[in-house]
């Protein structure tokens, strides 16, 4: 998993989503719900679907400007925890709070693969 700590790095990853989907996990280290979601992202990272995506994380407290920039750039309301599946530079799927599950992320990737 790549930690996104700058706008430039985030933009490069979004641009790369034209070649390979990007799954961004927006994580708050101060929130127990986000801690649970982080466990789900970890579980997802061990699934076969995870092999087909670039997995990245933004720490919303520590890197707040990047987190807010992503919300604006991807035209998606900010939430934390939040998972964003980006393909072709646009959000193809998103979930927040208890919707961030390994199964939901794997299903979103399978759905994206089915569109291609």
What is the overall mean pLDDT for the chain?
A: 96
Q: Is the pLDDT of residue 109 over 70?
A: yes
Across the range 3-28, mean pLDDT stands at 97
Torsion of CA 98, 102, 104, 105, to 10 degrees: 120
Q: Is the pLDDT of residue 114 over 80?
A: no
Name the domain count of the chain: 1
The range of the structural domain enclosing residue 72 comes to 2-115
- Give the domain CATH number at 67: 3.40.30.10
Name beta bridge partners: 54: 22
Across the range 87-92, mean pLDDT stands at 97
Torsion of CA 94, 90, 55, 49, to 10 degrees: 70
Whether the CB-CB separation of 87 and 52 falls below 8 Å is answered with no
Structure confidence at residue 98 (pLDDT): 97
User: What is residue 40's three-state secondary structure?
Assistant: helix
- The pTM score is 0.95
| pLDDT tens per residue across span 39-86 | 999 999 999 999 999 999 999 999 999 999 999 999 999 999 999 999
Across the range 25-49, mean pLDDT stands at 97
Q: How far apart are CA 61 and CA 52, in angstroms?
A: 28
């Amino acid at each position: 998993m790549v930690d996104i700590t700058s706008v430039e790095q985030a933009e490069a990853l979004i641009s790369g989503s034209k070649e390979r989907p990007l799954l961004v996990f927006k994580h708050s280290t101060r929130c127990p719900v986000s801690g649970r979601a982080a466990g789900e992202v970890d579980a997802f990272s061990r699934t076969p679907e995870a092999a087909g995506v670039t997995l990245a994380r933004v720490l919303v407290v520590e890197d707040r400007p990047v987190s807010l920039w992503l919300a604006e750039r991807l035209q998606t309301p900010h939430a934390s925890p939040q998972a964003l599946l980006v393909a072709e530079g646009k959000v193809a799927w998103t979930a927040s709070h208890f919707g961030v599950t390994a199964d939901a992320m794997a299903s979103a990737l399978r759905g994206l693969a089915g569109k291609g």
